[in-house]
Amino acid sequence: MALMEGMKGCGGCHKIGLKSEAEIKELKTAGQNFGLASCDACHTRHLFSVTEARQPQSCQTCHMGFDHPQWEMYSASKHGVRFLLKQNKVLPDNAAAPTCQTCHMPDGNHEVRTAWGFLAVRLPLPEDKSWAEDRVTILQGLGVLDPEGKPTARLEVVKAADLARLTHEAWQKERDKMIALCSRCHSANFARSELEKGDKMIREADKLMAEAIRIVAGLYKDGLLPKPKNYAYAFPDLLTFHDAPTVIEQKLFVMFLEHRMRTFQGTFHHNPDYSLWYGWSEMVRSLAEIRALAEEYRAKARK
């Protein structure tokens, strides 16, 4: 069920790009009849307007909601507000007001990529020992490392999909590109400082997330919570999505895919209120609930 819903929720957008005949046939078999080349996800049909596709509202249809509310964060940020005022002719046409495309598709480049990627995980591990341990736990929760910290087959999927930067050089390349973009309006020092705030927010979010993962993994290890079906390890699978069978596992899933995502995405999109109240604060709440639920399992076992 989760796979089918995932296809509906993700497949509508994540088919962007030119397709081979075999890929088009596969999409049709899965029920997709329009947008097979998917340029019309942004350049909508009939007009196929470049001007339309350059507006941030073109991104809103997909980049909003549960796990990636970039539209909500951007549109309420100073960047987004200035652009909307510019669209409304309150500000002049030459006012500095970046759009989604300004930062993520500079000069018309369709290769949308960021240093931290979609899930804010990367290799190599940081020098900070505590953060390194937390990130290993999250990578284990994502199933790309096994409980002993060894790579799994899922890591190869991550590599193939280019979901994460797996070398320092790959990460630094994307960070340098973003600093160069920000420097069109700001000083390089200011841009670097703001991006480093996002790095620090990821570290704080990882600390909360890793503790929650370890709590649930401990329940599996002690036989107090059934190990997930079709999963090789006594470790929570953060990609179980809606099929997470218990309340505590559902809370873990939401903590990761909703609240952790908002914590770091809100920071990088210059929306500190979103990052704090919809992100980090909710992670703190989720962790408190997971601790309490875990104690209930253990208290029941003691009786």
- How many CB atoms sit inside 10 A of residue 38's CB? 19
Residue 195 and residue 269: Cα distance in Å, rounded?
A: 10
DSSP string, 159-200: HHHT-SB-SHHHHHHHHHHHHHHHTTTS-HHHHHHHHHHHHH
Mean pLDDT of 54-62: 90
Does pLDDT of 95 surpass 60?
yes
State residue 36's pLDDT score. 57
Contact by Cβ (8 Å): 205, 145: no
Higher-confidence position of 259 and 146: 259
The pTM score is 0.88
Contact by Cβ (8 Å): 122, 116: yes
State residue 7's pLDDT score. 47
State pLDDT tens for residues 174-218.
999 999 999 999 999 999 999 999 999 999 999 999 999 999 999
Confidence of residue 249 (pLDDT cuts 50, 70, 90): very high
Omega cis (within 30) before 151 = no
Residue closest to 56 by CA, chosen among 15, 99, 8? 99
Confidence of residue 13 (pLDDT cuts 50, 70, 90): low
Does pLDDT of 54 surpass 80?
yes
State residue 179's pLDDT score. 97
Residue 300 and residue 303: Cα distance in Å, rounded?
A: 5
State pLDDT tens for residues 36-50.
556 777 888 788 889
Does pLDDT of 88 surpass 50?
yes
Confidence of residue 231 (pLDDT cuts 50, 70, 90): low
Three-state secondary structure call for residue 122: strand
Write the DSSP symbol of residue 41: G
